[in-house]
Amino acid sequence: MFTDSHCHITDDSLYEKIEEVIQNIIDKKVTSCMIMCTGKKELERALEIKKEYPFFKVAFGWFPEDAKTITEQDYIYLEDVIKQGKIDCLGEIGLDYYWDTSFNDLQKEMFIRQIQIANAYNLPISIHMRESTKDCMDILKQYAKTKIIFHCFSGSKETMMEALKMNAYISFAGPITFKNARQAPECIQACPVDRILSETDSPYLTPVPYRGKQNQPMYVEYVAKKISELKNIDLDSLCAQISKNYQSFFER
Ligand code: NI
């Protein structure tokens, strides 16, 4: 029923209790779930999980922070993983100017190169965009040729409209349930229902009423409920639509 388009369950903090996390996913009817891997160890863990539970999708890509240290070997590793058919999506990739703006150019270079790799293998991409809207949108407009998810979308309605022109999917996370969520309600109301996705970004961004606790994919229910309220669509129909959107993201 529920879709979590972006979670980090192979991150150490969730992986240490992975059996419980997966049981909760099953019990709470999270039937679509994409594991985002930011390193080799996480990817190996995710592939093991997928072997046992084939309903998971697996994504891998070099995170903006990696632009400082990326090597040719790392690009080769990424391409090998794709060639072997190990991943369903390239991500999360993008630009993050929030913590450190001293290596923006390196971030852009790595972002463009990963988009080009995705293009070469016709692989969809999952985008991390933080404090970098203009550069990120410019690069996507110029280079991206495959399907796009804007993960944990927190931009303005104008930015969302630009993203929709690229036929992107807009994925909403826990912060839409926070009292101070300002732009999210307006975005959700304006977003065509066939472009909406839900996610947790767990272990981060826990939705209300569990805000402050560690996040898990099972809590995506609260994100979906908030979207259904804002769109005034009953929860079952919304979840069916989101699940359909998620499947179509992987169609090539
Ligand atoms: Ni993430």
Q: What is the pLDDT along the chain (252 residues), one digit of tens a residue?
A: 999 999 999 999 999 999 999 999 999 999 999 999 999 999 999 999 999 999 999 999 999 999 999 999 999 999 999 999 999 999 999 999 999 999 999 999 999 999 999 999 999 999 999 999 999 999 999 999 999 999 999 999 999 999 999 999 999 999 999 999 889 999 999 999 999 999 999 999 999 999 999 999 999 999 999 999 999 999 999 999 999 999 999 998
In DSSP terms, which residues pair with 59 in a beta bridge?
36, 89
Q: Output the CA angle 196-198-204, nearest 5 degrees.
A: 140
Quick check: helix, strand or coil at residue 88?
coil
Q: How many residues does the chain have?
A: 252
What proportion of the chain, given as a percentage, has pLDDT over 90? 98
Residue 43 Cα, ligand 1 centroid: separation in angstroms? 14
Residue 6 Cα, ligand 1 centroid: separation in angstroms? 6
**So where are the chain's domains?**
2-249
Quick check: helix, strand or coil at residue 4?
strand
Residue 10 Cα, ligand 1 centroid: separation in angstroms? 11
Bond before 199 cis per omega within 30 degrees: no
- Element spanning 164, H or E: helix 157-165
Whole-number Å distance between alpha carbons of 22 and 200? 14
Please give the CATH superfamily to which domain 2-249 belongs: Metal-dependent hydrolases (3.20.20.140)
Q: 93-126, pLDDT tens digit by residue?
A: 999 999 999 999 999 999 999 999 999 999 999 9
DSSP at 179: T
pLDDT at 37: 98
Residue 84 Cα, ligand 1 centroid: separation in angstroms? 23
